[in-house]
Amino acid sequence: MTSTCPSGFPAASGTVTVRASADEQVATILIDRADQLNALTLDLLADLDDALAEIADSPARVVLVRTAGEKAFCVGADIKVFSRLAPEEMWRRWIASGHRTFDRLAGLPQPTIAVVDGLALGGGLELAMSCDLRIAHRRAEFGLPETGLGTIPGWGGTARLTDLAGPSRAKHLILTRRRIDADTALAWGVVNSVADDLEAAVGGFVRDLLDSAPIAQQVAKQLVDAAAAGAPSSVLEAIASGFTAHTADFREGVRAFTARATPQFQGR
């Protein structure tokens, strides 16, 4: 059966699935359209948005964003789809859908990790930048090539890349359309870690994240996001510190520190 995307064009294949670990602490989102280098369509964006809404209310403490295949993490928007959109559809559907979904990803309470292998271009890089952390295989490459198509990064790339790498480097990628390798992306602050053994690196980050108190971790994430938006940390940190001081996890953390033991956080 052939489905139809909201624009009226036939929807290409592709799936978004969510898998929880046995203890439900780690949720893994898999975008699978490997035969098209995981290029994104309106249907895939809608499915991803639904998956994120499901995860937000789940017991998961860490969220991994993965894609199928090793050739490309995601090459961005499906050009065959958006090139046929009328201007009002581009405005009302295509750009709005991408922003809505990527903003939901960025706003998840749980820490999120983009697991990047292969090419992360255009909307694929914008997808990765919507996560809190990015761990890349050494063969990964990054770029925002949209100006070569006569358009611009439309799913938050101009802002998120500027936040991560600064305006000069953002202009470098966007205006020249050049790609950078994983080591350069690490030096520029676009990724957090580069590894030859990607799974080992991801596992290490997940263990570190799970060792922290869940409530404090999620509050800290919100504080960093608020500070990036210009909110005064002196006010918000005082409120947040007062809140976390009343949690059972804070008492457990102090107890374990005093006893030189490993804390057993319960998320309450």
Q: Catalytic residue numbers?
A: 126, 146
Q: Which residues contact 236 (CB under 8 A, 6 or more apart)?
A: 223, 226, 227
Residue 95 tokens, joined: 């750009």
Angstrom distances, CA of residue 50 to CA of 44, 57, 76, 129: 10, 12, 19, 19
- Contact yes or no for 52/98 (Cβ under 8 A): no
Rounded CA-CA distance 42/200 in Å is 33
Rounded CA-CA distance 88/214 in Å is 43
- Contact yes or no for 89/106 (Cβ under 8 A): no
Nearest residue to 66 via CA among 109, 114, 111, 24:
114
